[in-house]
Amino acid sequence: MATRKERLSGLVVMLFGAGSLLYNLKYPLDTWGNPGPGVFPLMAGTVLVVLAAWVLGRDILKPASREGGESNAQCTPLKETFRITQGERRIFLMIAVFVLYILMIKWIGFFVSNFFFVILASRLIGARSWGAPVALSAGINLFCYALFDLWLKLSFPRGVLF
């Protein structure tokens, strides 16, 4: 793995731990004899920050790899570290579709939004035609409706249409 990536991940985890410790200040620690709700998150958060700092420090101080890895001086350019592949572009699109799907569940109901979601997801994952995704989506919806709604009585949001 690229050194810059290692450092970045260590830094993000450290920031997460530090953020949780800061937020944890809201909760009382009380005494050792009667520990409050802030004690355990404080302990876990502290260990997390220490470990992340250790990993980060180790990655920064790491000497150049013998197997063609990169040294501190020869880190991958920032542009290369954040390079987005074609597949990852599709992931971003999928996340956008997913967000839209969850938002629409409340308004147009689970089954309608599910119908469109499956078609779009199938297309994003590689389906070239429209016919098969539409058939797949209809099949999945019918299966879900019969099994989860009619039989198992899971209550899905109906939306304004039903």
Partner 1 sequence: MADHGILSSLLTTFQPVNFLSCFIGAVVGTLVGVLPGLGPAAAMALVIPLTLKLGPTAGLIMLAGIYYGSMYGGSTTSILVNVPGEPASVVTTIDGYAMARKGRAGAALAVAAIGSFVAGTFSVIALQFFAPLLARSALAFGPAEYFTLTVLGVIMLSNLTGKSRARSLIMIMVGLLLSTVGTDPVGGMERFSFGLEAAQGGVSFIALTTGLFGVAEVFAVMAEGEEQIKLLPVRFRELYPNREEIRRSVAPMARGSVLGFLIGLLPGPAATMASFASYGLERRISKHREEFGKGAIEGVAGPESANNAAAGGAMIPLLSLGLPFTPATAVLLGGMLLHGITPGPFLLRDRPDVFWGVVGSFYLGNMMLLILNLPLVGIFAKIVRVAPKYLMPTVLVLCVIGAYGDNSSLFDVWVMLGAGVVGYVMRKYDYAPAPLIVGLVLGPVMERSLRQALIISKGSLSGLWESPLCIAMWIVILLAAVLPFAMHVVHKSTGTRRNA
In the block, residue with structure tokens 């953020």: 19
| Measured CA distances, 5 to 24, 58, 82, 100, 152 (Å) | 28, 13, 9, 30, 46
Residue 150 lies near partner 1 (rule: CB under 8 A): no
Phi, psi at 94, each rounded to 5° = -60, -40
Among 22, 60, 96, 125, binds partner 1 (CB under 8 A): 125
Beta carbons of 10 and 59 less than 8 angstroms apart: yes
CB 69 to partner 1: min, Å: 14
Among 63, 68, 77, 87, binds partner 1 (CB under 8 A): 87
Residue 90 lies near partner 1 (rule: CB under 8 A): yes
C-beta of 20 vs 72, nearer to partner 1: 20
Which of the ranges 60-68, 71-79, 127-135 carries the binding residues for partner 1, by CB under 8 A? 127-135
Longest dimension (CA), the chain: 67
Total number of residues binding partner 1 (CB under 8 A)? Answer: 66
Q: Residue 52: which of 4, 5, 16, 76 has the closest Cα?
A: 16
Phi, psi at 123, each rounded to 5° = -65, -40
Residue 51 lies near partner 1 (rule: CB under 8 A): yes
Vertex 138 angle, CA 135 and 140, to 5°: 105
Site for partner 1, rule CB under 8 A: 1, 5-6, 8-9, 13, 16-17, 20, 23, 27, 31-37, 39-41, 44-45, 47-48, 51-52, 54-55, 58, 85-88, 90-91, 94-95, 98-99, 102, 105-106, 110, 114, 117-118, 121-122, 124-127, 132-133, 136-137, 140, 144, 147-148, 152, 154-157
